[in-house]
Protein backbone atom coordinates (compact mmCIF):
# COMPACT_ATOMS: atom_id res chain seq x y z
CA UNK A 1 0.00 0.00 0.00
CA UNK A 2 1.58 3.25 -1.05
CA UNK A 3 2.01 6.17 1.29
CA UNK A 4 -0.58 8.52 -0.26
CA UNK A 5 -3.32 5.88 -0.07
CA UNK A 6 -2.47 5.19 3.56
CA UNK A 7 -2.64 8.91 4.38
CA UNK A 8 -5.98 9.28 2.56
CA UNK A 9 -7.54 6.35 4.41
CA UNK A 10 -6.27 7.64 7.75
CA UNK A 11 -7.66 11.11 7.05
CA UNK A 12 -11.07 9.70 6.11
CA UNK A 13 -11.24 7.52 9.21
CA UNK A 14 -10.51 10.57 11.35
CA UNK A 15 -12.83 12.99 9.47
CA UNK A 16 -15.95 10.82 9.08
CA UNK A 17 -17.04 10.94 12.76
CA UNK A 18 -16.94 14.76 12.67
CA UNK A 19 -18.99 15.08 9.47
CA UNK A 20 -22.29 15.18 11.37
CA UNK A 21 -21.16 18.30 13.23
CA UNK A 22 -20.78 20.13 9.90
CA UNK A 23 -24.39 19.66 8.84
CA UNK A 24 -26.70 22.68 8.96
CA UNK A 25 -28.48 23.26 12.23
CA UNK A 26 -32.22 24.00 12.36
CA UNK A 27 -33.34 27.62 12.53
CA UNK A 28 -35.44 29.02 15.36
CA UNK A 29 -39.13 28.63 14.68
CA UNK A 30 -41.29 25.97 13.08
CA UNK A 31 -39.73 22.94 11.42
CA UNK A 32 -38.70 23.37 7.78
CA UNK A 33 -41.66 21.43 6.41
CA UNK A 34 -44.86 22.61 7.97
CA UNK A 35 -47.55 21.19 8.23
CA UNK A 36 -46.54 17.59 8.84
CA UNK A 37 -46.06 14.90 7.62
CA UNK A 38 -42.43 15.47 6.74
CA UNK A 39 -40.80 12.74 4.70
CA UNK A 40 -37.21 12.03 5.79
CA UNK A 41 -34.70 10.86 3.19
CA UNK A 42 -31.99 9.92 5.66
CA UNK A 43 -32.64 6.17 5.76
CA UNK A 44 -32.70 5.73 2.00
CA UNK A 45 -29.74 8.00 1.43
CA UNK A 46 -27.65 6.10 3.98
CA UNK A 47 -28.55 2.80 2.31
CA UNK A 48 -27.54 4.15 -1.11
CA UNK A 49 -24.20 5.38 0.22
CA UNK A 50 -23.53 2.02 1.87
CA UNK A 51 -24.46 0.14 -1.31
CA UNK A 52 -22.16 2.37 -3.35
CA UNK A 53 -19.29 1.79 -0.93
CA UNK A 54 -19.79 -1.98 -1.07
CA UNK A 55 -20.00 -1.96 -4.87
CA UNK A 56 -16.85 0.16 -5.13
CA UNK A 57 -15.02 -2.16 -2.73
CA UNK A 58 -16.04 -5.17 -4.79
CA UNK A 59 -14.81 -3.55 -8.01
CA UNK A 60 -11.52 -2.53 -6.37
CA UNK A 61 -11.00 -6.08 -5.10
CA UNK A 62 -11.68 -7.50 -8.57
CA UNK A 63 -9.17 -5.09 -10.13
CA UNK A 64 -6.57 -5.96 -7.53
CA UNK A 65 -7.03 -9.70 -8.09
CA UNK A 66 -6.82 -9.32 -11.87
CA UNK A 67 -3.63 -7.25 -11.50
CA UNK A 68 -2.04 -9.99 -9.38
CA UNK A 69 -2.86 -12.62 -12.02
CA UNK A 70 -1.12 -10.67 -14.78
CA UNK A 71 2.07 -10.15 -12.75
Instruction: Report pLDDT digits (tens) over 10-63.
Output: 888 888 777 766 666 666 666 667 666 777 666 677 888 899 999 999 999 999
**Percentages helix, strand, coil for the chain, rounded to the nearest 5?**
70, 0, 30
In a domain, 31, yes or no: no
Range of the structural domain that residue 71 is part of: 41-71
pLDDT at 1 over 80: no
In a domain, 24, yes or no: no
pLDDT at 65 over 80: yes
pLDDT of residue 53: 94
Q: What is the pTM of this model?
A: 0.42
pLDDT of residue 71: 66
In a domain, 59, yes or no: yes
In a domain, 50, yes or no: yes
In a domain, 28, yes or no: no
Domain count, the chain: 1
In a domain, 16, yes or no: no
Question: Rounded to an integer, what distance in angstroms lies between the CA atom of residue 10 and that of residue 6?
Answer: 6
Residue 33: C-alpha distances to residues 2, 16, 68 (Å): 48, 28, 53
pLDDT at 69 over 90: no
Q: Which of 38, 35, 54 is nearest to 46 (CA)?
A: 54
Amino acid sequence: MNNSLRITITFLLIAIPFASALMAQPLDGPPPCWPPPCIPIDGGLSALIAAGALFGGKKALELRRSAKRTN
